[in-house]
Each structure stands twice: as structure tokens, then as C-alpha cells.
A and B are shown apart, each in its own frame.
Chain A
Amino acid sequence: MKNLPFKKQTIALLAVIVPLLALFVYVAFRSGPLAPVSVVLATVENKSLSPALFGIGTVEARYTYKIGPIFAGRVKSLKVHVGDHVKAGQRLGEIDPVDLDKRIQAQDAAVRQTKAQLNESQARKDYAQIQAARYEQLFKVHSVSEDSLATKQQEKLVAQAGLIAAREALSRVIIEREALAVQRNDLFLTAPVDGLVVARNANPGTTVVAGQSVVELIDPSTLWANVRLDQISSKGLTEGLYAKITLRSQGSEFQAGHVLRVEPLADEVTEETLAKVVFDHIPDPLPPVGELVEVTIILPTLAAAPVIPNAAIHHIDGSLGVWQFIHGDLHFTPILLGRADLDGRVQVLEGLNIGDQVVVYSENTLNEHSRIDVVEHIQGVAR
């Protein structure tokens, strides 16, 4: 018992020094660069993938009608407003005829004048015809000279030509009158189809040039999404595929639709493929034309094949591969990838077998000599 105080001190010192040293060894080898890298493993599964394509686009109307005058003019009246539904043939507004009605009246007068001239020519011709016939009789009994007969016959021919000219002149002015009537009629802005007014670009009093649209109509039953898909991920895109259309305003809700056509011309500047996706049922209320949509196009389900998560894929020294976990060691196995789905799963065509274990997540970059520590999930990741 004599040595007890000394022993107490030794025990106390050891009680401090030994845990300190143990902690030091732990710190030196279990944290920092010498520490093993935590990894999460995944097993290669035999699964059938449902690949899908993802693109964004805008809601557009398949048919847009820009209605405007074919001559420069001033808008006289415009009866419709944006949001109005109109029927085919409905008059939407009118361009001011200015002097066109007067010109039509003048043309009416010209028709009447030409008709009178026609009557005059007819009378001349009738008279010339009678005279010619009478002179023929007289010539037969030698009462008039041959010269007189020839004069009357020539007068008859002139009168006949005059009649034809008068008739044609009448036709011309009648047609001119009709042309003015058509022009007059064209000053009415008429809806070519049943549709929805989406723009009213000018108000009464505004002068518009030929071809400028005054009113724009769309056919709301033909709304579609003009979708852009990155060329690199548009494999398998074809007509008729089922599509989920999510309007930006609708959050996670989606509308069913299908691919109407894949545009034969891709956008070479943005490196995108374009496709038109139509709604199976036009949404009610109607989405605004131009609204952004996200479109997920579902491709046919593939046959079961070895599948890994895309997070497992690494690029090392020019080849794609995975860190395969074999008997506690890491091996970089080059692989050949197949199709992928939007949930991050990828088919492996070569390099791995079903049941193989690969590193899916790692705390740090790995190499062949990395010491690893297999964990359920990487520390710090909120579950």
C-alpha cells in the first residue's frame, strides 16, 4: 500500500495518455487523406427499362390566321376583341372605302352610258342593214350605181363592227363594276374559319398597309406543343408515341398527348430536334399560346437487361467504366452502355453480369489502390 500514491498517478497519467494516443492513431489513419473512402455499393440488376425522352417547348396553334386588308387603307370599324369566338364568314370589321362607293356609282353610270351607246349602235346597225338590203334591190333594177351599193354595204359592216364594240365596251364596264364590288367586299375583314381572336393589332382610324394583320385568329381545337429535344438524347423519337405534357402553370399535373410528327428539319444552330406533340384532349381552360411546356415522351419498354445507376459510371483514361467491387477490392471495369431512362438507370451491354457489385456513390475520387469503407449511405447526406 506504500506505493499506492505513485500507482494512482501512473494510472491517472495513463488514463489521459492512452486514450489520447488511441485517438491520435484513429485520427491519423481514419480521417484526412489516409482515411478509407466511404462508398455505397449497388448490385447490377436484371430490369426492363422504360426509356423516355424529355424536351421543352411552347404551346402553339397549328393554324393561325392573320386577317388584314390587301390594299393600304384606314380601319373604319372593328367589332371583335381579343378572346371573342367568331364563326366562319363572320364580318370582323371594315376598312374605310374612302371613294370606292363613289367609284362604284360612277361605274354604274358608265354601265348605263355604255348600254345607251349599245342601243345607239344597234340602231345604226339596223338602219345600215336595211339600207344595204334596199340598195341591193335597187341595184338589181339598175336604179342605183354599183358605187352607191358598195358604200351602203360598207356602212352596214361598219355599223355591225360598231355594235360589237359597244357590246364589248358594255361587258368591260360591267366587269369593272363587278371588280369594284369585289374590292368593296374585300374591305370587310371576314373570319375564314371558326376561331378565337388572339390579337387586335389596330383600332378604328389606324392606317394599315397591304398585308398588315389587323386581327389574328387561331383555331383553338388545333393547339399543339412545339417541342425541342436535344439531338443527343432524341434516339427513338417517332410519330405516335405517348407523351406527358406539363404546362408551366400546372406544376406537376400533366396532360396526355402523343407525337404528331417529328420535323424533318432539325434546328442546326441549337442542335435540337423538333417535334409536334398534340393534346389528346384540349385542356380547359385553354392554355395561353406561347406557354412553356415540359414534354416527356415515353418510349416502348425494353427487354430486361443488366442495369446500373448512372451515378456509377466513370470516365478514366479515355474509357467509360465502373468501379467493380470484387472480394473487397476495387477494379475498374470498362463497360459498353445501352439505353437509359430518365430515372438515371442505364443498360450495360458489355462488361458486367447480373449480380455484380459496383460502386455507385463515393466520398471522393477512387483509384485501384483506394482503401474503401462500404457504407449504407455517405455521411452528411440527408436521408
Chain B
Amino acid sequence: MISLAGRDIMHSWGKFVFTGMGLGLLIGITLSMAGIYRGMVDDAKMLLDNSGADLWVVQKDTLGPYAEPSSIYDDIWRGLRGVQGVTQAANITYLTMQVRQGKRDVRTMVTGISAGESGTPGWPPFLIAGRQITRGHYEAVADITAGFKLGDRIQLRRNHFTVVGLTRRMVSSSGDPMVFIPLKDAQQAQFLKDNDAIHQQRRRTAENPAFNRPQVPGLLNSVIASQSSNPYINAVLVRVESGYDAEQVAKIIGRWKRLTVYTRIQMEEILVGKLIATSAKQIFMFLVILSLVSAAIVAFIIYTLTLGKIREIAVLKLLGTRNRTIIGLIMQQSIALGLIGFVVGKISATLLMAPIFPKYVLLQPLDSVIGFIAVVIICILSSIVAINAALKVDPAEGIGG
């Protein structure tokens, strides 16, 4: 049996393929948009996965450390380590700041990690080059999207750090690359004012007669020393011993240590449900609109293609072709167009569009499958309009009537 659709496609294959490609770019953008939305959610989840914690212990009644500022003393971990069911407790600080390297500066989330060995909560779980931090000061492991190379010297506040390791997919919830540095340096970076401010502060303190008393010669130095220390961190990451219920341990800590504790699920709710909720909804709405627009454009294209063949269809009808054959012709062409579009869309989204976006674009296979089904359904639905037009055509038009 001769495939009318195939013959027709062959007849004007160039036009058909290029129309498919144009459609494909549109589908590609829609898939990319879905990928951007997924990437945003995935960034938030990666942030939690990378910390390697079961529980986040933060300042009482805050949503810290990611969604709200949280500040607790850096010796609280000792008390937490003693709670039954806790195997590891590690201090951590997060601070989004500009990191200078040579003449450029990069917006990063500087993460202060506790001293220890690989596998300590908060440490980057895997590297793509270099090594983990071994010195207690002035070394850094950076996400590759920050653009640093191994051995680069970067500047945070007044201190210089050497990049000793590179990692991947370690980003803040807003997509800023993370830079891991030793905790003590990070505490200093969070708190340290610029030298001018420190100088001014010293001068002010020295001018205050309450602190600069001739009868007590060492008082001024003590006051100044107490002004320039930072015993605070943002959160304690806790790992729960296997066999213990994280929620139970969280309840004990919350009840007896007077701190707020979040489990992994709660933290995900905070990040996905609160922190990135608005921007994710924004992207999602954009995705919905783009999908609707794509569907409309597919419908228009197929309708226009069908109208372009209206004379041929009339001739077919004149020759006594059954309606089923004509419906098949239009629907098959429509689906073929959708398939080419999807293939081109998937390729362009993966190879061309996703890599150029500054933030992570996650093209999930399931999304592609859903996209494929949606494309086919849209093609079928939009071909119905064209079929309706084709079936209404008067056979007399075939002979110029």
C-alpha cells in the first residue's frame, strides 16, 4: 500500500524538515525551561545532599542557615555530640560574598567547614581535581563554575587562599558556586571588618573613658581584643547513628538544648517550598505559558500545511479517496512533524541550550518522555482542526472550481 503521507513528505521534504526543525527549536526551549525549573529544585536538593547531614541544628526559631540568618556559638557542637544517637556533629558557616581573584571577582557562597578528614559533614563529597583541604588555614576547594584553577590564589577579605581542589555541582540555592574554606578562616571572613573600620573602632574605644582608664592599664587592650573575636557559626550539621530515628534525635535536641532542629525532609520543604518557591513558580508559570504557546504554534503550522495542500486533497476526494485515508495523511504528517520537532528539540536543548545557561539545567528523562507524549497529543489534537478543514473541502476545488 502506498503511504500518501510518506509520498507527500518526499515531495516537499526540504520544507517539511525545516518546518520540523523550527518547531524543534521551540520544543527545545520548552524542554530547556522545564530543565531550568528542575535544575533550580535540584540545586536546592544538592545543597542538602552535599552537606551530608541528617539534621541541621540552628538558632532557636529561625529557618536557618539557608533561608534565614542563624547564629549560634561554636562550642554548641560539644553538647550535641553527647546526645544519644548523634555520631558526628560539625560546625558550618555559610556566607554569600564576592571572592576576588586577580582583577575579577566572583559571587560565591563561602562555606566554612570544620577541621577533620574527608567525609566530615559539610565537606565536598566528591572532587573533580586536586585534593581536599589538609591545612587548617588558607586553603580552598571551589566549584568549577567559579572559574578558578588549581593553584589559583583567591582573596577573601584580607586573607589569601590557595585553591587546592575543584568540585562540581556544589552551588547555593541561588546557583552561586560554593567555595569551601576552613571554618576558622570563614568565621573571620564573616566577622572581619576592613582595616579602616577596625582602626576607627579602636580609636572610638580608646576615646571612651569607660574603657581607657589610666588606673587599669590593660583594660583597653582587653576590650579591643574582645571586640574582634567571632565565636559564632551558622549551624551544626549532625549525623545520626544508624538505628536511631532522626526525628526522635531532633526532638531531644530541640527539647533539651533549646535550639531549632530540622530534618532532611523539613529542610527540603524550607528550601524548595519557601526559599526558591517564588522564583520556581515564576519559571513554572513561564513553562506553562511556553507549552501553551508551543501547542498553539504546532496547531497553526499543521493547519497552514494542510491548507497549502487543500487543492491536492480536493483532487484526492474527487478521485473518490476515502475520508479515512485523508485523515491518515494529515495525522501521519502531523505526528511525523512532531517527531522531527521533538528529536531536534531534545538535541538542541541538551547540546546547545543547556550548556550555555549560567545555572544548572536538569533535563530529566521522565520530563523528555512526558514532553514526547505531550508533543504527540498536541500534534493529534491540532491535526483535528486541519482534518476538519480538509474534510469540508469541496471536491470541485480540485479542478479549479
Query: Which residues of A does B touch, CB under 8 Å?
Result: 6, 9-10, 12-13, 16-17, 20-21, 23-24, 27-28, 31-34, 54-56, 208-209, 211-213, 229-230, 232-233, 269-270, 294, 309-311, 313-315, 317-318, 320, 337, 340-344, 346, 360-366, 377-378, 380-382
Q: Which of B104-112, B122-130, B260-268, B287-295 contacts A (4 or more CB under 8 A)?
A: B122-130
Q: Which of B276-284, B299-307, B362-370 contacts A (4 or more CB under 8 A)?
A: B362-370
- A343 and B135 alpha carbons, distance in the complex (Å): 9
* SS class, residues of chain A in contact with chain B: mixed
Q: Which of B152-170 contact A (CB under 8 A)?
A: 164-166, 168-169
- The answer to whether B136 and A54 touch across the interface, beta carbons within 8 angstroms, is yes
Residue of B nearest to A66 (CB): B217
- The answer to whether A311 and B137 touch across the interface, beta carbons within 8 angstroms, is no
- The answer to whether A342 and B350 touch across the interface, beta carbons within 8 angstroms, is no
- The answer to whether A13 and B119 touch across the interface, beta carbons within 8 angstroms, is no
Chain B 307-346 against A: per-residue CB contact (8 Å), 1 yes, 0 no?
Answer: 0000000000000000000000000000000001001101
User: What would 19 A/B residue contacts be, using CB atoms closer than 8 Å?
Assistant: A9-B10, A10-B10, A17-B17, A24-B343, A27-B350, A33-B362, A54-B135, A56-B136, A212-B214, A230-B136, A233-B115, A311-B127, A311-B130, A315-B119, A315-B125, A365-B126, A380-B128, A380-B144, A380-B168
Known: A269-B231, A341-B134. A33 touches B364 (CB 8 A): yes
* SS class, residues of chain B in contact with chain A: loop
Set of chain A residues within 8 Å of B184, measured between Cβ atoms:
230, 270
- The answer to whether A342 and B135 touch across the interface, beta carbons within 8 angstroms, is yes
- The answer to whether A310 and B128 touch across the interface, beta carbons within 8 angstroms, is no
Set of chain A residues within 8 Å of B166, measured between Cβ atoms:
381
Known: A10-B10, A54-B134, A380-B144. A23 touches B115 (CB 8 A): no
A8 vs chain B, min Cβ distance (A): 10
- The answer to whether B117 and A311 touch across the interface, beta carbons within 8 angstroms, is no
Shortest Cβ-Cβ A-B pairs, 3 listed:
A344-B131, A315-B119, A313-B118
Set of chain A residues within 8 Å of B14, measured between Cβ atoms:
12
Known: A24-B343, A311-B118, A378-B128. A343 touches B169 (CB 8 A): no
Residue of A nearest to B77 (CB): A271
Set of chain A residues within 8 Å of B231, measured between Cβ atoms:
269
- A56 and B137 alpha carbons, distance in the complex (Å): 8
A162 vs chain B, min Cβ distance (A): 48
Q: Which of B3-28 contact A (CB under 8 A)?
A: 9-10, 13-14, 17
Query: Which residues of B does A touch, CB under 8 Å?
Result: 9-10, 13-14, 17, 49, 52, 75, 87, 115-120, 125-132, 134-138, 144, 149-150, 164-166, 168-169, 184, 214-215, 217, 231, 239, 241-242, 340, 343-344, 346-347, 350-351, 362-365, 368
Residue of A nearest to B121 (CB): A315
Residue among A6, A32, A361 making CB contact with B10, cutoff 8 Å: A6
Residue among A208, A343, A363 making CB contact with B134, cutoff 8 Å: A343
- The answer to whether A211 and B134 touch across the interface, beta carbons within 8 angstroms, is no
- The answer to whether A311 and B134 touch across the interface, beta carbons within 8 angstroms, is no
- A313 and B340 alpha carbons, distance in the complex (Å): 45
- The answer to whether B119 and A313 touch across the interface, beta carbons within 8 angstroms, is yes
Known: A9-B13, A13-B17. A361 touches B118 (CB 8 A): no
A136 vs chain B, min Cβ distance (A): 68
- The answer to whether A310 and B117 touch across the interface, beta carbons within 8 angstroms, is yes
B233 vs chain A, min Cβ distance (A): 13
Residue among B17, B115, B128, B364 making CB contact with A16, cutoff 8 Å: B17
- A310 and B119 alpha carbons, distance in the complex (Å): 10
A345 vs chain B, min Cβ distance (A): 8
Set of chain B residues within 8 Å of A318, measured between Cβ atoms:
87, 239, 241-242
Set of chain A residues within 8 Å of B9, measured between Cβ atoms:
13
- A195 and B235 alpha carbons, distance in the complex (Å): 48
Set of chain B residues within 8 Å of A342, measured between Cβ atoms:
134-135
Set of chain A residues within 8 Å of B17, measured between Cβ atoms:
13, 16-17
